[in-house]
Amino acid sequence: MTAAIRAANTDGRAALVIYLPAGYPDLETSRACLEAAAGAGADLLEVGFPYSDPLMDGPTIQAANQVALDAGCTPDDDFAVCARLTAAVDVPTLVMTYYNLAWHYPGPGQEGRATAGSSRADGLDDFAAACRAAGLAGAILPDLPAEEGARWRKAAAGGDLDTVFLAAPTSRDHRLQAVADASTGFVYATSTLGVTGERQSLSAMAGPLVTRLRDVTDRPVCVGIGVTTGAHAAEVAGFADGVIVGSAAVRAAGEGGPEAVAALVRELADGCRRSASVA
């Protein structure tokens, strides 16, 4: 993942990271939308695994998650989408989901789960192995604090996966250091407090947060939450290594499928190229 972001930076632009959930509006269309994003200029892809209590996600992604869950999509279905996706595109792809889903993978009663009295306390190794088998390059578990992430980091390392942790504008310096030290691939800088969602304008907190992170790490720093338009992408590209877009892409997938996603990604990719001051 780092190589893909740095290649974009060397090309004089910010890397574009597109998030879309598996199973929305259905499994086949979700894969087609992700492939369309890659074809239209996304440098990295984040595949959301729908979860019933998505603490970070705003109304657009929550509603998409619920559609997938109501249709009966399971993590194994999501991994199947990822396997077909990574076989078809040459773009580093991450899973983005919540720690509880990874901890309990593959679920009660399923083959591979620890039985009563087993020494296995969780499903993290199984989850990491499934990620690797599906061709994924890393994972984002947004509700897992960096300070509590040692167990997952060990499982991820065993599966040769990068781990991305989140930094908030309100994080104190010692916590930014912990996030930077624990992250591989890149550091996810949240542009504002609160949940994801489309916004009319970007928060002024993103730029200073990126500056503070650069003081503690040389890893790429990508900014997400609220980036909606090509103009927003150009603004973020002026101070960050990568631009992360989720809700706007999800809305496009629901309204117009792969064609609408491709059109949005082309606009965003153009925005990532507009700034001449990418670090």
- Compute the mean pLDDT over every residue in the chain, rounded to the nearest whole number: 89
Task: Summarize the confidence of residues 156-160 as an average pLDDT.
Answer: 94
With 0-12 / 13-18 / 19 or more C-beta atoms within 10 angstroms meaning exposed / middle / buried, residue 201 is: exposed
Task: State the pLDDT at residue 109.
Answer: 54
Query: Which range (51-60, 88-97, 135-144, 158-167) has the least confidence?
Result: 51-60
Residue 116 confidence (pLDDT): 41
Catalytic: which of 35, 46, 125, 241?
46
Tokens coding 25: 């509006």
Q: What is the Cα 206 distance to its own chain's centre?
A: 17
Distance CA 57, CA 258 (A): 22
pLDDT classification of 73: cutoffs 50, 70, 90: very high
pLDDT score recorded for residue 224: 87
Work out the average pLDDT over 69-90: 97
User: Given this model, what pLDDT does residue 107 score?
Assistant: 72
Average pLDDT score over residue span 8-12: 96
242 contacts 16 by C-beta, under 8 angstroms: yes
pLDDT (tens digit per residue) in 55-64: 766 789 999 9
The CATH code for residues 2-274 is: 3.20.20.70
218-232 average pLDDT score: 91
- Give the domain ranges of the chain: 2-274
Clarify whether 57 is annotated catalytic.
Answer: yes
pLDDT tens digits for range 262-278: 999 999 999 999 764 44
| pLDDT-wise least confident of 76-85, 185-194, 200-209 | 200-209
Tokens of 18: 């597109």
Reported as a pLDDT band with limits 50, 70 and 90, residue 114 is very low
Q: pTM of the entire structure? A: 0.91
**pLDDT score, position 69:** 96
Q: Which is higher by pLDDT, 153 or 112?
A: 153
Mean pLDDT score, 123-142? 97
The angle that helices 59-70 and 247-274 make with each other, rounded to 10 degrees, is: 130
Distance between CA atoms of residues 17 and 165, nearest Å: 15
Choice among 109-123, 183-197, 209-223 with the minimum mean pLDDT:
109-123
Rounded CA-CA distance 222/237 in Å is 9
Catalytic residue among 35, 57, 77, 198: 57
